């Protein structure tokens, strides 16, 4: 039997997560920053040109997570675009620094419960998938200590002129 209180709480958590992310994007806009504009090449961005990725799996983040993580890199001055969960940092032999605050990312997907699969098989109907949204807290590798060198090393910055080409003005000759 399902628990209506638990279902309501899950729906409320999902709504709170949507609101949290929306509020963060609105705050960025109100501060004069456009979070979906690529942050590299700005004075605030210390991280190299890269998509945010999970340092343990090398999987690139996607969707709204890119905006969230780029924003965190710019806001907090991280030097890299690699992220780990608390447990991933431990599994790699490192740890999150004391007092560090993580960044919330989300994972959205769908699943079909076994009861729904059985019901669909009995009735000949299509099984209905249930969408879900789960939040995770991740830490930039700058916030972690004791990681292996291949994980902790940040990529070198892009060569000059790759992002914002050097502007050269034509020779204006003598101005006497």
- The residue ranges of every structural domain in the chain are 36-152
SS3 call for 105: strand
Point out the residues of the chain with pLDDT beneath 70.
Answer: 1-15, 33-49, 153-176
C-alpha 140: how far from chain center: 10
Task: Give, in degrees to the nearest 5, the angle at Cα 31 between 29 and 32.
Answer: 65
- So what's the pLDDT on residue 5? 45
User: Given this model, what pLDDT does residue 31 score?
Assistant: 79
Sign of the Cα torsion 84, 90, 96, 99 reads positive
Which tokens in the block code for residue 129?
Answer: 């998938």
Mean pLDDT over each residue of the chain, to the nearest integer: 78
Closest alpha carbon to 106 in 131, 129, 130:
131
Query: By percentage, how much of the chain surpasses pLDDT 70?
Result: 68
How high is the pLDDT of residue 34?
65
Dist. CA 174–CA 176, nearest whole Å: 6
How high is the pLDDT of residue 176? 47
Percentages (nearest 5) of helix, strand, coil residues in the chain: 35, 20, 45
């Amino acid at each position: 039997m399902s628990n209506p209180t638990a279902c309501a709480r899950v729906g409320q958590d999902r709504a709170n997560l949507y609101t949290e992310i929306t509020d963060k994007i609105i705050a960025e806009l109100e501060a004069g920053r456009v979070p979906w504009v690529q942050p590299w090449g700005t004075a605030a961005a210390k991280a190299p040109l890269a998509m945010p990725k999970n340092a343990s799996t090398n999987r690139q983040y996607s969707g709204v997570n890119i905006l969230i993580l780029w924003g965190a890199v710019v806001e907090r001055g991280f030097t890299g675009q690699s992220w780990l969960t608390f447990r991933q940092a431990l599994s790699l032999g490192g740890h999150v620094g004391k007092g560090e605050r993580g960044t919330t990312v989300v994972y959205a997907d769908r699943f079909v419960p076994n009861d729904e699969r059985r019901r669909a098989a009995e009735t000949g109907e299509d099984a209905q998938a249930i969408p879900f949204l789960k939040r995770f807290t991740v830490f930039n590798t700058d916030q972690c200590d004791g990681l292996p060198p291949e994980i902790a090393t940040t990529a070198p910055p892009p060569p000059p002129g790759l992002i914002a080409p050097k502007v050269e003005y034509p020779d204006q000759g003598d101005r006497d």
